[in-house]
Amino acid sequence: MSEIEQSLKPLFDEINNLKPKFIERLTKAVAIPSVSGDESLRPKVVEMAHFLVSELKELGADDVRLRDLGIQPPPVTTPDLKLPPIVLAKFGSDPAKKTVLIYGHYDVQPALKEDGWATDPFTLVEVDNKLYGRGSTDDKGPVIGWLNSLEAHKKLGLDLPVNLVCCFEGMEESGSLGLDDLIAEEAEGYFKGVDTVCISDNYWLGTKKPVLTYGLRGCNYYQISVKGPGADLHSGIFGGVIHEPMTDLIKVMGELVDVNGNILIPGVNEMVAPVTEKEKALYDAIEFDVDELNAASGSSTAIYQDTKDILMHRWRYPSLSLHGIEGAFYGGGAKTVIPAKVIGKFSIRTVPDMDSKKLDKYVFDYINGKFAELKSKNTLVVELIHDGNYWVSDPFNDSFTAAAKATKLVWNVDPDFTREGGSIPITLTFEEQLKTNVLLLPMGRGDDGAHSINEKLDIPNYIEGVKTLSAYLHFYGRS
């Protein structure tokens, strides 16, 4: 056992001893329904920010700030709705130590018991060594995990091996409004001197083996509006005698992607960087199979059966998903209405070397062309709602190497190096504004159900995750 591994044993023992306290802290955090997308719950999001401030001060933070981000821009229904503050904190300012910025978010997705939860989503419940509750894995568990690491160090009287800068936001689930500007403003201020950024807001690929993540797909989100009649109409009177917006929209959306996930928009696939043999080899050692995919999706509907095909189409290739139609009748029973206006929503997950602006042009030209073929007298408008670029990092830099050593020490296995199909746009902002690199160090498993009903975090992942985060800081501090 190396010197650093030996020095971490008392810290790991203390983390084990503090397990009840750590579960209690997460229980308090989950109990605050900090749903950023629900304007009526905005006071609860702010309450969660103040909860973190209180905890950080109790743990001995040097410089705790609540950064006001001002008024939320439209569309909003509440006039002068204030954005939740960014929580900033520092632990240490030793110029001889490296400085790590840790990012996380304290807001969560909406959740109601009637959505299908087995328990109250805002009451942390332990069942079969798992902790169920909204935010348990996304992202309150990891955020509280960092606080737990700080507490274990404090209890032992053990100095942190690095200077730590905390940046916790309350709008990640609603587009991270205001965060990009704050990072730019503080790049030479509060964040000056940051050597690396660590984010724990993603998950293991499966359920058995830890991973480190070095790439993310981007996301361009679009909507198609089709408008015709001046008001909703009775299909018994107007059916068959007017052009119906819903019919036009379904026809156009049906031309975007086929049932096997192939994008039908010309020019999109041609932008994708070719796969090299060296890149293909990275997938050979990854432990994952179609059974794990089926377990995570709750179905046997996988398009691909081979591991490499599954992972490349999840991480390496673009995808187009249809998300919903606004303005159409969706309740129970039968309603014979012709909607006057419908809005279809879809997104494209982007990968190297796709250019966002060029993608927009391909999408707009294709959709407008398909609509023109219908010769409908309705009007169609297609627009970009938001976009975030893809991100790829170097999985062999000092930060990733430290995380790999920490993972091996805690879990007794070398981590898989993975990319993710989802997007965390803030990774690029941190890299570009702070001129540094970002590591994604996940705590939860691939079946945690983030954004879904019955979201959970396995207790071993929570406690061993605190050890992994802690060990990472020590290995990186000595790198």
Please confirm whether the linkage preceding 353 is cis (ω < 30° from 0).
yes
Answer yes or no: is 336 a known binding residue.
yes
Q: List the structure tokens of 357.
A: 């602006």
Answer yes or no: is 201 a known binding residue.
yes
Active-site residue, from 55, 169, 172, 195 = 172
Distance CA 477, CA 457 (A): 28
Annotated active-site residue 255? The verdict is no
CB 443 within 8 A of CB 457: yes
Distance CA 104, CA 67 (A): 15
Answer yes or no: is 115 a known binding residue.
no
Distance CA 124, CA 292 (A): 26
Using DSSP, state whether 21 is helix, strand or coil. Answer: helix
Count of CB atoms within 10 A of residue 473's CB? Answer: 24
Size of the chain in residues: 479
Answer yes or no: is 27 a known binding residue.
no
Annotated active-site residue 291? The verdict is no
Using DSSP, state whether 461 is helix, strand or coil. Answer: helix
Distances (CA, A) of 227 to 234, 245, 261, 298, 325: 16, 6, 28, 37, 13
Answer yes or no: is 36 a known binding residue.
no
Q: In angstroms, how far apart are the furthest CA atoms of the chain?
A: 83
Q: Which residue is listed with tokens 């990275």?
A: 282
Distance CA 422, CA 288 (A): 18
Answer yes or no: is 349 a known binding residue.
yes
CB 308 within 8 A of CB 287: no
Distance CA 267, CA 265 (A): 6
Answer yes or no: is 173 a known binding residue.
yes
Active-site residue, from 55, 107, 387, 455 = 107
CB 131 within 8 A of CB 457: yes
Instruction: Show binding-site residues for Mn(2+).
Output: 105, 138, 173, 201, 451
**Which residues form the catalytic set?**
107, 172
Instruction: Show binding-site residues.
Output: 105, 138, 173, 201, 234, 336, 349, 423, 451
